[in-house]
């Protein structure tokens, strides 16, 4: 499960990285448009437009590569390096736009790149990969420190402790600049930690989704919802007595079929067979209790019973026969022999709950009703009938005539282990 969780988490990371790339493309596009209105010179207009266009092209190429699910980590690193390159270039573009070396280098640290840095930092966090905002903030702090060192190397560099003078004059507030670098560094670490927590939470959510997916192999979606919302006591050893419909299904002549096909082909046949059988079962809120070789024990009314359980069991059996007929047509067209099944359904009280110990539980049904359903299914072999149900089941269906199949009473039978006879009906599915 951990491996599958990692794979799904990687898919989420790819989605987050894609969102980040789209966001950066949008930002670069907007800045390109704004540049035409605020550029102070043709040099600035040309350089900023070229930087933005190159950035957009590179991001589009990375986005197309990302859609192929390739080089995900490399794309993230390239994006960080591209962001750092842009932040490094912008102050010098603006500096040369206003005169270059004829202007004191103080201007380099008075340019407003901090808003761009903060926005880009947030976009990197959307990748849900803590490494990217951390690397970016670390790179920005080093970059800004080097820029300050370079600016202070100019003898004309002016510094002031007055915010007003720094804002309106030619001097720079160095302490404020250093504090800003510190804030960016702290913000980077905070976003990295937040991203780490989100990633961890997302991993747990993904694992939960996988568990739900695994439950879907055993229960219908409606039953899964009930299990997920159940109280802790639901998962303790023990059970309760309740009325359930129990369906047994078996493949006729399976021993001979398995001997003819061999192990691998037999497992392949069972896998295909079980897949569409379970579709029919889950469609009518059935619960797969267990596979018994080629057979299946299915219950209707677990964990929560309803008045529709008897009818649902019959309708599920009819659906199983229909799907089997479709499958057999495909098999015959492929030159394969058709498969026949027997279905037996009974209704009555059973013990429903967890059997075993706290560390190893099996949610199942036990009792006379389960045994009777098994006997009814086996009776089909003697009677040459493929679908049998008990009168106890039909008596719990308010309107048996609503069943889309022919019902025929076969009389009373003494089922092994029962003292009273049980009236058995055959269901003929067209």
Q: Taking 80 as the threshold, does the pLDDT of residue 142 lie above it?
A: yes
Q: Which of 21-25, 86-90, 174-178, 211-215 has the lowest mean pLDDT?
A: 211-215
390: in domain: yes
Hey, what are 163's tokens? 């915010």
223: in domain: no
Provide the pLDDT confidence category of residue 197 given band limits of 50, 70 and 90: confident
Hey, what are 335's tokens? 């030159």
| pLDDT given for residue 81 in this prediction | 92
User: Do 19 and 165 share a structural domain?
Assistant: yes
What are 348-359's pLDDT values in tens digits? 999 887 776 666
User: Do 170 and 301 share a structural domain?
Assistant: no
Q: Mean pLDDT for the chain?
A: 85
48 versus 69: which is more confidently predicted? 48
150: in domain: yes
- 3-state DSSP percent of the chain in helix, strand and coil, to 5: 65, 15, 20
Q: CA 117 → CA 88, 90, 121, 153, distances in Å? A: 10, 11, 6, 24
53 versus 226: which is more confidently predicted? 53
What are 49-72's pLDDT values in tens digits? 999 899 999 999 998 988 888 788
Global pTM value: 0.57
Q: CA 147 → CA 88, 150, 209, 212, 337, distances in Å? A: 8, 5, 48, 53, 79
Phi, psi for 393 (deg, rounded to 5): -70, -50
Q: Which helix (H) or strand (E) holds 300?
A: strand 295-300
Parent domain of 345? 232-428
Q: Taking 70 as the threshold, does the pLDDT of residue 3 lie above it?
A: no
225: in domain: no
Which of 369, 354, 231 has its CA nearest to residue 300? Answer: 369
| pLDDT given for residue 400 in this prediction | 84
Average pLDDT of span 361-373: 84
Instruction: Give CA 20 to chain center in angstroms.
Output: 20
Q: What is the DSSP string of 213-259?
A: HHHTTTB-HHHHHHHHT--GGGGSSEEEEEEEEEEEEEETTHHHHHH
Q: Taking 50 as the threshold, does the pLDDT of residue 304 lie above it?
A: yes
84: in domain: yes
Q: Which of 161-170, 215-224, 247-256, 294-303 has the lowest mean pLDDT?
A: 215-224
| pLDDT given for residue 228 in this prediction | 67
41: in domain: yes
CATH number, domain at 294?
Answer: 3.30.70.1230
Hey, what are 270's tokens? 């069972």
Which of 238, 212, 241 has its CA nearest to residue 227? Answer: 212
Average pLDDT of span 402-412: 90
User: Do 200 and 303 share a structural domain?
Assistant: no
Q: CA 36 → CA 44, 62, 65, 85, 98, distances in Å? A: 10, 27, 31, 22, 16
User: Do 266 and 162 share a structural domain?
Assistant: no
List b or e across 216-251, with b for residues whose CB sees 16 or more CB atoms inside 10 angstroms: eebbbeebbeebeeeeeeeeeeebeebbbbbbbbbb
User: Do 263 and 175 share a structural domain?
Assistant: no
247 versus 111: which is more confidently predicted? 247
| pLDDT given for residue 340 in this prediction | 93
Provide the pLDDT confidence category of residue 145 given band limits of 50, 70 and 90: very high
356 strand-pairing partners: 361
User: Do 163 and 267 share a structural domain?
Assistant: no
| pLDDT given for residue 223 in this prediction | 61
| pLDDT given for residue 102 in this prediction | 87
> How many structural domains is the chain composed of?
2
Distance CA 67, CA 4 (A): 20
Average pLDDT of span 352-381: 82
User: Do 103 and 166 share a structural domain?
Assistant: yes
User: Do 239 and 185 share a structural domain?
Assistant: no
Average pLDDT of span 402-415: 88
User: Do 273 and 168 share a structural domain?
Assistant: no
Q: Where are the alpha helices (DSSP H) in 39-157?
A: 42-67, 72-97, 114-125, 131-152
| pLDDT given for residue 4 in this prediction | 61
Q: Which of 187, 214, 241 is the last residue of a domain?
A: 214
| pLDDT given for residue 1 in this prediction | 47
User: Do 380 and 318 share a structural domain?
Assistant: yes
Q: Are 65 and 118 in contact (CB under 8 A)?
A: no
Distance CA 21, CA 127 (A): 9
User: Do 312 and 193 share a structural domain?
Assistant: no
Q: Which of 214, 243, 260 is the last residue of a domain?
A: 214
User: Do 275 and 410 share a structural domain?
Assistant: yes
Provide the pLDDT confidence category of residue 394 given band limits of 50, 70 and 90: very high
């Amino acid at each position: 499960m951990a491996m599958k969780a990692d794979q799904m988490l990687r898919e989420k990371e790819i989605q987050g990285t894609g969102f980040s790339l789209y966001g950066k493309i949008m930002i670069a596009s907007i800045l390109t448009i704004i540049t035409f209105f605020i550029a102070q010179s043709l040099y600035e207009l040309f350089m900023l437009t070229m930087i933005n266009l190159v950035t957009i092209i590179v991001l589009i190429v990375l986005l197309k590569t990302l859609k192929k699910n390739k080089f995900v980590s490399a794309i993230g690193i390239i994006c960080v390096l591209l962001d750092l390159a842009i932040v490094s270039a912008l102050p010098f573009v603006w500096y040369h736009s206003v005169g270059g070396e004829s202007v004191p280098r103080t201007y380099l640290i008075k340019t407003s790149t901090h808003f761009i840095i903060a926005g880009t930092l947030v976009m990197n966090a959307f990748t849900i990969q803590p490494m990217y905002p951390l690397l970016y903030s670390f790179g920005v702090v080093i970059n800004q420190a080097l820029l300050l060192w370079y600016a202070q190397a100019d003898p004309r560099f002016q510094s002031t402790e007055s915010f007003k003078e720094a804002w309106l004059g030619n001097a720079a507030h160095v302490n404020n600049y250093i504090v800003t670098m510190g804030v960016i560094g702290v913000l980077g670490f905070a976003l990295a930690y937040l991203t780490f927590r989100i990633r961890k939470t997302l991993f747990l959510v993904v694992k939960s989704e996988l568990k739900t997916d695994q439950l879907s192999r055993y229960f219908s979606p409606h039953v899964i919802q009930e299990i997920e919302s159940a109280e802790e006591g639901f998962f303790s050893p023990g059970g309760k007595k309740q009325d359930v419909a129990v369906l047994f299904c078996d493949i006729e002549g399976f021993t001979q079929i398995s001997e003819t096909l061999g192990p691998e082909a037999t497992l392949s046949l069972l896998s295909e067979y079980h897949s569409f059988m379970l579709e029919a079962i889950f469609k009518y809120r059935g619960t797969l209790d267990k596979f018994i070789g080629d057979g299946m024990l299915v219950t209707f009314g677990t964990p929560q019973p309803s008045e529709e359980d008897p009818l649902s069991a019959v309708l599920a059996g009819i659906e199983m026969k229909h799907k089997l007929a479709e499958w057999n047509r495909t098999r015959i067209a492929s030159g394969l022999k058709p498969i026949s099944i027997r279905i037996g359904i009974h209704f009555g009280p059973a013990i429903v709950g967890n059997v075993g110990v706290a560390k190893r539980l099996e949610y199942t049904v036990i009792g006379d009703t389960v045994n009777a359903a098994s006997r009814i299914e086996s009776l089909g072999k003697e009677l040459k009938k493929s679908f049998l149900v008990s009168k106890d089941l039909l008596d719990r269906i308010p309107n048996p005539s609503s069943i889309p199949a022919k019902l025929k009473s076969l009389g009373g039978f003494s089922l092994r282990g029962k003292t009273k006879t049980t009236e058995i009906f055959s269901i003929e599915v067209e």
